[in-house]
A and B are shown apart, each in its own frame.
Chain A
Amino acid sequence: MQHENEITIKKQGDVTIMDIKGDITAFSDPFLSNAYQQAIVHDTRKIILKSNKEAYINSGGIALLIQLLAQIKRNNQRVVIAGISDHFKKIFTMVGITKFAPIYDTEEAALQILAAETK
């Protein structure tokens, strides 16, 4: 069974986008950690965690995302989430993730918001 994530790091202005392909589960740990290490090489202050509407995200993946958000917060970086389905928007709101990372429908919408913020 395939448990791998392909995570592409893109830089757009002062925003770094972590584009996560695949499901987010406990198996995503090394992929998310490596991608974040790559992202902070860019000395970024703003991050978009982008997934997609077809992704399956379970409790193990939610735990990893919260750990990543905690790390991002400790590093005084701003983070938003983009691209997830309406179901996972609801789940992330229930869990409280949206208190620390607002969710936008698309990468473009998230970029627009972050670009408008003071650097």
Chain B
Amino acid sequence: MATHLNARTVKIILPNILGYERIAMASSASFAKMFGFASERIEDLKTIVAEAAINAMQHGNKGHTDSEVTVTIRFKDNAIHVAVTDQGDGIAEILPRPDIDRIMNNLDPPVGFGVFLIQELADGVEFNKDTGDGHCVNIVVKKDSNQVEDAARK
């Protein structure tokens, strides 16, 4: 489905090359700044967008250099809605939360940090939504996150 671009919706198309997630990070940071997000929340958004794009490149598109990753960013209801779409089969398996004690003792491989960070930093995540010609991860990042509210209560 074509995305209607407007003053509150932008789309970035990336080549399937690791490192180019920085383009989406920088764009999302500029976008969030336009809508008054605090710098701490912008840093969260940058990490979320980077990790979702890296997952799309590595696991969705399986590293195929002729594939693309599309990042759509929309501001609605005081939150940024990020959709990261690959042209492959999506993420085969949502890995469990990495256990650093087991990793440090060589009992688990050091994997799963990208998904873990997205889940920890975002206010909502939906993985592997079938778009017909690929798969999409939908993420919500509130302007005033629960994290911030929780920290303020403490």
Chain A contact residues, CB within 8 Å of chain B: 1, 3, 25-27, 56, 58-60, 62-64, 66-67, 69-70, 73, 85-87, 91, 94-97, 99-100
Contact = CB atoms under 8 A, between A and B. Distances in A.
A62 B113 contact: yes
B18 interface: yes
Interface in B82-124: 98, 100-101, 103-106, 110-111, 113-114, 116-117, 120
A66 B110 contact: yes
* Interface class of chain A by DSSP: helix
Contacts of A91: 47, 117
Interface residues of B, number: 28
Given A70-B103, A73-B104, A63 B110 contact: yes
B19 interface: yes
A63 B115 CA distance: 13
A66 B104 CA distance: 7
B22 A95 contact: no
Nearest to A87: B43
15 contacts: A1-B19, A3-B19, A25-B18, A26-B18, A27-B19, A58-B50, A59-B54, A60-B54, A63-B110, A66-B104, A69-B104, A70-B103, A85-B43, A91-B117, A94-B116
Interface in B17-37: 17-22, 25
Nearest to A56: B22
Contacts of A58: 21, 47, 50-51, 54, 114
Contact of A66 (B43, B47, B100): B100
A79 B25 CA distance: 31
Contacts of A70: 103-106
Nearest to B50: A58
Contacts of B68: none
Contacts of A66: 100, 103-104, 110
Contacts of A56: 22, 25, 50
Contacts of B40: 86-87
Nearest to A99: B100
A55 B136 CA distance: 28
Given A59-B114, A62-B113, A95 B43 contact: no
A67 B19 contact: no
